[in-house]
Structure 1
């Protein structure tokens, strides 16, 4: 049984869940758990639970046959993974890999119960569909970026976005390996492009750190 303090937080983050009846909340298997960094849910599984994030961050990514990774998106508090919910609703294999990035708290809803709630509660069903729509737009943007933008444009856009996430800081702590995972391209391509930007005095490189030296020019490369 979910404790009352957890329910209060759940309803704040997921208002649509407030329509779930007390009887449905008391079903066996529904629980709140802490998830530790680097816990992984691998692609290809038939999921027994849907994970809804109360706090923390989970990264969703795909791995190619050659072992290269690309980040699809991240989910944070108040969100759940549409690929996970579509897998559960369709009773198909999970089409991505999920990795916990920061220690967090999650609501675990057994798959059968999740399907029943989606059928029974209109507001909850609407929340799930809105989640689908939001991520479809993001994935479409990712595909456009990969297929139509130059690697210089993609890297410039990534650095500016990372800077904005850290309060427009010009100092970014990220490795070339991490960038290759985020952008889904080879480390050598990332390093070569970054060195070209450094040669133009647009950025400065040091171990595990990139400093934006000319933000205006960097932004001009965004396509």
Structure 2
């Protein structure tokens, strides 16, 4: 099952040689929703390739408040963990399973080896950096230029895309944590969006209209 997922998600990105090596040396793992996959200050000796599910990447300030940076989908990797691995430093992010997820963990020395020897891997890494860089710029723009209710609606729409459904199951407190604000603010803004006929609220469920 894991090998078939690897081929399904990455055969259009990576060539057969790298896929075979990943299948041989990679460590396949599964995580349940809300499991911490990578934590802040954790030494990184492997990089993850996501096979199924979704992962959210978070930063934490000195007071322990979290801020959502971006989501990972199947067929992607976390470039912030790549950077830490290449610099042999500890993780500066927290990766949490948004849904039940499966990954393959690759020892860092292979990442460096393939980058120099394999064009498909090198292109995958460089394109991943570009994608994450664009998303981080978008996150900065959201913080600097977009009002909270617009950020909230964008967050909800992104959630529906990730989950493949117009209805998402999420608590107001969890949204508040992801957007680094209070539950009271989120509840008020959700009610505002409902009054604007953009969403429909029910207990721990939100439907995007």
TM-score by length of 2: 0.81
16, 19, 37: which one pairs with 1:18?
A: 16
Q: Offset at 1:54?
A: 1.6
Greater mean deviation of Cα atoms: 34-43 or 133-142: 34-43
107, 131, 136: which one pairs with 1:134?
A: 131
**SS of equivalent to 2:53:** strand
Contact 1:10 1:17 in 2 (8 A): no
Aligned CA distance change for structure 1 residues 157 and 69 (closer, same or farther; 3 Å)? same
Greater mean deviation of Cα atoms: 59-68 or 31-40: 31-40
User: Are positions 1:185 and 2:181 aligned together?
Assistant: yes
Aligned CA distance change for structure 1 residues 197 and 72 (closer, same or farther; 3 Å)? same
Aligned to 1:174: 170
Greater mean deviation of Cα atoms: 83-92 or 128-137: 83-92
**SS of equivalent to 2:43:** coil
Kindly report the root-mean-square deviation, in angstroms, between the aligned alpha carbons of the 2 structures: 2.9
**SS of equivalent to 1:60:** strand
TM-score by length of 1: 0.77
5 Å-filtered alignment, 1:77-156, equals: 77-156=74-153
Highest CA radius of gyration, 1 or 2? 1
Contact 1:204 1:211 in 2 (8 A): yes
**After TM superposition, which residue ranges in structure 1, 4 or more long, deviate above 6 angstroms?**
none
How many angstroms apart in 2 are the aligned matches of 1:196 and 1:210?
13
Contact 1:204 1:210 in 2 (8 A): yes
Aligned CA distance change for structure 1 residues 200 and 52 (closer, same or farther; 3 Å)? closer
1:166-188 superposed Cα distances (whole Å, 9 cap, x missing partner): 6674x543321122123222222
20, 38, 41: which one pairs with 1:41?
A: 38
Contact 1:11 1:17 in 2 (8 A): no
**SS of equivalent to 1:129:** helix
**SS of equivalent to 1:34:** strand
Aligned CA distance change for structure 1 residues 43 and 21 (closer, same or farther; 3 Å)? closer
User: Are positions 1:208 and 2:209 aligned together?
Assistant: no
State the number of aligned residues: 206
Aligned CA distance change for structure 1 residues 40 and 163 (closer, same or farther; 3 Å)? closer
Q: Offset at 1:154?
A: 1.7
How many angstroms apart in 2 are the aligned matches of 1:58 and 1:203?
24
Aligned to 1:221: none
